[in-house]
Amino acid sequence: MVKSLLQKQCLSHERQKALESKTVCVVGAGISGLTVANSLANEGIRVFVIDKNPFPGGRSVQYGCKATDSCLQCGVCLVRDAVANFKKSSLIDASFSSTPRALHRRENDGYDIEVETIPNPIDWRSCTECGECREVCPKNAVKSIPGWKYYISEHCDRCGKCLVVCPVGAINLERKRQYETFPALSVVISSGFKPFDPAVNLKWGYGANPRVITGSDLESLFCREKFLPSDPELKDLKKIAFILCVGSRNIVEGERHCSRVCCAYSLRMANRIKEEYPDTEIDIYYMDIQYFGKSFSSFWAELKRKINFIRSHPISISIDEQERPLVRYESMSDLRCREEAYDLVVLANGICPPDNGEELAEIFGLDLEAGGFLSAATNAASNNGSGRDSGIFLTGACRRPMGIAECVESAYGAAAGVLRYLGDKV
């Protein structure tokens, strides 16, 4: 329904030309920011995107498809498509490895946004994706994400071998920090979220045992189509546990909210692992299961036939004599404490507010909710993310925990609001 608002915007030729002279700034190039940028560009609006990463797509572009013989609507393809559309649009420009530092209201209309950039050595505009730099890098510091250009990570030792082989001179290891100011009539904040770090609570054993990983870690493996760790020390992963709600629904170690995505990605990944390795035994520890997708009932019924669900939130993870994770939990059936050893434990870490939420709130005149997520101030935007008066809009998981599909819907709503706002200005 929200998407139809974009499709039904009917403007005169003169007003359309006036709109095309306007620029909208999008802060954050995850799935929400890219959806806003692509939607506005499709309407002829120029868009400037700012992102702290050296690539677009945010965290979700580093996730992997979880389909087996049928699509499970995990949303990863939506992110890949958004990156592809962003890449080919002539109306979208971007500044990566960049952070907004100040916002100034202009006398006539709109804003000037001060941006700090620490440029990546590889100029994404010039990169031809030939991969020569990656081949010669001795530190494996040249990285890429699906559908995008190469970039150099912090592991670079500045040996200069990549400079020699780049056929177009896209690499400069001496790029300096720079500050620029960009004008925009409207601003959309889509700064995303931060995954919960289980290392803050020693009871999970994360970081101390390589056989304990997070859902985020497993997503990275799925992105490379590996599905399970390939470290020689972690061979024979015949028994795997998923622990849900790590960092969610727990005010002691994380947030009181439900992260809304952990059940979905855990069940989908467990299903895919079972498909790839049918002899693997999988247990899932849960408090409640968050329903997702139109076909959840049939998916849930099938999953219960091949995966063991244990209704309990584990007390701790230690290490047994074979250096395997030992999960200690209270059985809900007889209220007795039990222990179970696994070859691999996956902590389904939840969604936390972005690290820079307080800074963004101060710059753009927003509020912070009690949990740390961004909320629209009365002088900036209404609580549904619509900046009717100020032209500042909020969208996506910086507002509250959202999955990919919900982020897309939120972004369509923000884009429609921007179009209405711009329409009132011409």
In terms of Cα–Cα distance, which of 123, 127, 161, 113 is closest to 141?
161
pLDDT band at 329 (very low <50, low <70, confident <90, very high): very high
Least confident of 91-100, 288-297, 348-357, 399-408: 288-297
pLDDT above 70: residue 380: no
Mean pLDDT, residues 75-91 taken together: 97
Q: In this predicted model, which residue has the larger pLDDT, 227 or 283?
A: 283
pLDDT above 50: residue 381: no
Spatial separation of the C-alpha atoms in residues 303 and 208, rounded to whole Å: 31
Q: In this predicted model, which residue has the larger pLDDT, 353 or 19?
A: 353
DSSP-assigned beta bridge partners for residue 337 = 330
pLDDT band at 17 (very low <50, low <70, confident <90, very high): low
Other C-beta atoms lying within 10 Å of the C-beta of residue 106: 11
Other C-beta atoms lying within 10 Å of the C-beta of residue 5: 15
Query: What is residue 9's predicted lDDT score, i.e. its pLDDT?
Result: 47
Q: What's the full length of the chain, in residues?
A: 426
195-352 is classed CATH 3.50.50.60: yes
Give the domain ranges of the chain.
Answer: 2-119+176-193+354-425, 195-352
Spatial separation of the C-alpha atoms in residues 122 and 119, rounded to whole Å: 8
Query: What is residue 227's predicted lDDT score, i.e. its pLDDT?
Result: 87
pLDDT band at 396 (very low <50, low <70, confident <90, very high): very high
Residue 308, classed as helix, strand or coil, is strand
Query: What is residue 382's predicted lDDT score, i.e. its pLDDT?
Result: 42
Query: What is residue 353's predicted lDDT score, i.e. its pLDDT?
Result: 93
pLDDT band at 232 (very low <50, low <70, confident <90, very high): low
What are 95-153's pLDDT values in tens digits?
999 999 999 999 888 999 999 999 999 999 999 999 999 999 999 999 999 999 999 99
In terms of Cα–Cα distance, which of 64, 8, 53, 66 is closest to 27?
53
Spatial separation of the C-alpha atoms in residues 340 and 328, rounded to whole Å: 7
Query: What is residue 387's predicted lDDT score, i.e. its pLDDT?
Result: 57
Fold for the domain defined by 2-119+176-193+354-425: FAD/NAD(P)-binding domain (3.50.50)
Q: Give the N- to C-terminal CA distance of the chain in Å, as an integer.
A: 25
Report residue 217: phi and psi, to 5°.
-60, -45
% of the chain exceeding 90 in pLDDT:
79
Structure tokens at 346: 């996956």
Q: What is the mean pLDDT of the chain?
A: 91
14 contact partners, CB below 8 Å, separation of at least 6: none
% of the chain exceeding 70 in pLDDT:
91
Mean pLDDT, residues 275-289 taken together: 95
What are 295-328's pLDDT values in tens digits?
899 999 999 999 999 999 999 999 999 999 999 9
In terms of Cα–Cα distance, which of 324, 68, 348, 346 is closest to 228?
346
Reported as type and span, the H/E element at residue 113 is strand 111-117
Identical fold for domains 2-119+176-193+354-425 and 195-352, yes or no, is yes
Residue 399, classed as helix, strand or coil, is coil
Q: How many angstroms from the chain centroid is the CA of residue 128?
A: 25
